[in-house]
Amino acid sequence: MITYRQRGLANVYAVFVNLAAVALLPVYASLLPSIAYVQLSENVELFPYCVAVFIGMAASSGHLRRKHSRLHELGHWASLGIAFRQMLYVAACIFTLMFITKDREVSRLFLGSYLALLTGLLTVMHTRVPRDLAALLFGQASRMPTLFIGRGDRLGQLDDWITNRMHIGIQPVGFLADEPPTRAELALAPYLGGIDRLADLLLEKRIGQVILLEWFEDSTKVERIIELCEQEGCRFLIHNDYGARYARTFIPLEEGGLHFLTLQNEPLEDPINRGVKRLLDIGISLPVVLLVLPPLCAIVWLVQRAQAPGPMFFAKPRGGRSREEFNMLKFRSMYAREHDINKQATAGDSRVYPFGRFLRKSSLDEFPQFINVLLGDMSVVGPRPHLPQHDVEFSLISKTYRVRSLVKPGITGLAQVNGYRGEITDPEKLHRRVYWDLYYVSNWALWLDIQIILRTAWQVVSPPKSAY
Tell me the domain boundaries of the chain: 2-137, 143-263, 269-461
Could you tell me if 300 and 359 are in contact, meaning their C-beta atoms sit under 8 angstroms apart?
yes
Three-state DSSP at 172 gives strand
Distance CA 396, CA 388 (A): 13
| pLDDT computed for residue 427 by the predictor | 82
Q: What amino acid occupies position 395? A: S
> In 3D, which of 220, 239, 216 has the Cα closest to residue 154?
239
| pLDDT computed for residue 241 by the predictor | 75
Tens digits of pLDDT across the chain (468 residues): 677 888 888 888 889 999 999 999 999 888 876 665 566 666 778 899 999 999 999 988 876 666 656 777 788 888 898 899 999 999 999 999 988 988 877 888 888 889 999 999 999 999 999 889 888 888 877 889 999 998 877 787 788 888 888 888 889 998 898 887 776 555 678 889 899 999 999 999 899 999 998 888 788 889 999 999 999 899 999 888 777 677 677 788 877 777 788 888 899 998 999 999 999 999 999 999 999 999 999 999 999 988 988 889 888 899 988 889 999 999 988 887 766 555 666 666 778 888 888 888 888 888 999 999 999 999 999 999 988 888 888 888 888 888 999 999 999 999 988 888 766 767 888 888 999 999 999 999 999 999 999 998 887 777 666 554
Sign of the C-alpha dihedral computed for residues 69, 72, 73 and 75 taken in this order? positive
Distance CA 54, CA 90 (A): 8
143-263 has which CATH code? 3.40.50.720
Q: What is the CA radius of gyration of the chain?
A: 29
Could you tell me if 285 and 453 are in contact, meaning their C-beta atoms sit under 8 angstroms apart?
no
| pLDDT computed for residue 35 by the predictor | 64
| pLDDT computed for residue 372 by the predictor | 96
Residue 168 DSSP one-character state: G
| pLDDT computed for residue 382 by the predictor | 94
Q: Give, for 157, the enclosing helix (H) or strand (E).
A: helix 152-157
Residue 347 DSSP one-character state: T
Sign of the C-alpha dihedral computed for residues 9, 11, 17 and 20 taken in this order? negative
Distance CA 413, CA 345 (A): 19
Could you tell me if 210 and 237 are in contact, meaning their C-beta atoms sit under 8 angstroms apart?
yes
Length of the chain: 468
Would you say the pTM of this structure is higher than 0.75?
no
